[in-house]
């Protein structure tokens, strides 16, 4: 049994989709979350910059003696695939758990992938799906406006702006007759109702946050790292920009008040 916290980081709010699932699956675990809100989005950055940011994010989490680190960020998972080397604790991104879930879910072997520009440009999901099942056809599309829309609160199912952007991005995937769609950025499940309406209810959406949380639970169980407490775990949130904006949206999304649990950190010092 191990009562150390699980460390989770993302470029901003998106990683909260993984935290939300962790709270359901592992309610007794302590969680430390870092959202790099001062440098979001990562998806338009160079590979070198993304690697630098990811190393700083992981270094910060390690100061809290975390027992596992989750890069709840599709961009980091796709571009900084070797980040876990040398961390000294179990590590996962969202890429492999999500690709495996999609390969299992598809019936017609036509899988769509949406993500940031950096994620799609990397070809990471294409490679992962090809390793799992070379017969799967992959149709990918970058959706660079989704992250700022989510970060700025345009998340209502009826939001006209987000709906129009989704139609513009997703029409080619609908035309490709995919039956499974990977939400390759952890921001995207926050607007999954809009995405589902756009591509059609018959398309199975693969939530990278949920699949990664399930993988985390399996890893901790297999390595005997689950906590031994019965009470609800502690949750601490850190951001690199203003606390207020994050607290408001995070509270709405997680369904609980996080205002007193959010602190600012100078991530450039790590």
Find the catalytic residue in 143, 185, 216, 227: 185
**Closest-CA residue to 107 (of 199, 175, 247, 202):** 202
Q: Which two tokens stand for residue 101?
A: 């879930």
Active site residue 73: yes
Residue 120 neighbours by CB under 8 Å, 6+ apart: 113, 114, 140, 141, 142, 184
- How far apart are the C-alpha atoms of 107 and 198, rounded to whole Å? 20
- How far apart are the C-alpha atoms of 209 and 188, rounded to whole Å? 9
Residue 22 in contact with residue 50, Cβ under 8 Å? Answer: no
Q: Which two tokens stand for residue 167?
A: 């139609």
Find the catalytic residue in 73, 143, 216, 227: 73
Residue 164: how many other CB atoms lie within 10 Å:
12
For the annotated catalytic residues, the residue numbers are 73, 185
């Amino acid at each position: 049994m191990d009562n150390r916290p699980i460390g989770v980081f993302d470029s901003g709010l998106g990683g909260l989709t993984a935290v939300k699932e962790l709270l359901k699956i592992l309610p007794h675990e302590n969680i430390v979350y870092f959202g790099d809100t001062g440098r979001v989005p990562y998806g338009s950055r160079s590979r070198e910059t993304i690697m630098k940011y990811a190393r700083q994010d992981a270094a910060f989490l390690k100061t809290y003696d975390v027992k596992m680190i989750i890069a709840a960020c599709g961009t980091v998972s796709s571009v900084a695939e070797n980040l876990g080397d040398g961390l000294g604790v179990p590590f996962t991104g969202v890429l492999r758990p999500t690709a495996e879930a999609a390969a299992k879910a598809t019936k017609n072997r036509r899988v769509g992938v949406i993500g940031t520009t950096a994620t799609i440009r990397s070809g990471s999901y294409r490679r992962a799906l090809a390793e799992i099942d070379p017969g799967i056809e992959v149709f990918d599309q970058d959706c660079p406006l989704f992250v700022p829309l989510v970060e700025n609160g345009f998340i209502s199912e009826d939001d006209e702006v987000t709906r129009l952007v989704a139609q513009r991005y997703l029409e080619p995937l609908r035309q490709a007759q995919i039956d499974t769609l990977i939400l390759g950025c952890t921001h995207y499940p926050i607007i999954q109702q809009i995405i589902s309406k756009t591509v059609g209810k018959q398309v199975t959406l693969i939530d990278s946050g949920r699949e990664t949380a399930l993988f985390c639970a399996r890893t901790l169980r297999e390595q005997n790292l689950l906590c031994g407490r019965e009470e609800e775990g502690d949750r601490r949130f850190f951001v690199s920009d203003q606390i207020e904006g994050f607290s408001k949206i995070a509270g709405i999304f997680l369904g609980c008040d996080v205002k007193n649990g959010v602190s600012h950190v100078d991530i450039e010092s790590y």
